[in-house]
Structure 1
Amino acid sequence: MASKVGFLGFAVLIVVVLAATSNDGVSADGCEGDLRGLTSRCAQYVLKIGPKIRPSRGCCDVVRKVDIPCVCRQVTPEIEKLVSIKKVLYVAQFCGKDVPHGTKCGSKYS
């Protein structure tokens, strides 16, 4: 159930990135990684509504291969209405993905 609810929020976050992404997973903006996998495996962990929960191993496997600061640069105010940037940063950090202090993600900073 949580994955169905969470999918919507993260899908919105990734929609902007995917719009500029070629079929091989590398965007025109230089964001690299499995962005489709990021959507399918991590959606439930970043939706604004609901509690903060630890991401799965599958989610972390994908997160480690994605350029999080690049994805963060794609976040619009509309996306922030559905996705918790604090949760996005939490998931990245929990999964061992370095997000440099001061990185801007939407309107928030790490």
Structure 2
Amino acid sequence: MIEDAADLAVLFDGAGGFAQAVTWTPKGRPPADLAGIFTAAHAAAGAGDWPGASTVQPVLTVAAADVPDGAGQGDKVDISGAQWRAADLQPDGTGLVRVILER
């Protein structure tokens, strides 16, 4: 459970955490550098007699306090040199925001 900023720092500390460097450029505003945890897309198809289905869009998880002012859908998000667009911002109520990404 995330209790405070120190708990978040463990996740997003570039030296020992899970985060990658991110440059977020809100529409009409200057870029902001922050740290985020990137989760790649996943897709699966049916196998055998079971049709099955699975999909997960690429997601960037960031500290809510680090989300740039004016951030929203369509913003440019650069993660370790890869270009993305923010499709949806989903605050989770614990101090984190899931940013659904698209190309």
Structure index of larger Rg: 2
More strand, by proportion: 2
Higher RCO (CA 8 Å, separation ≥ 6 residues)? 1
TM-score by length of 2: 0.31
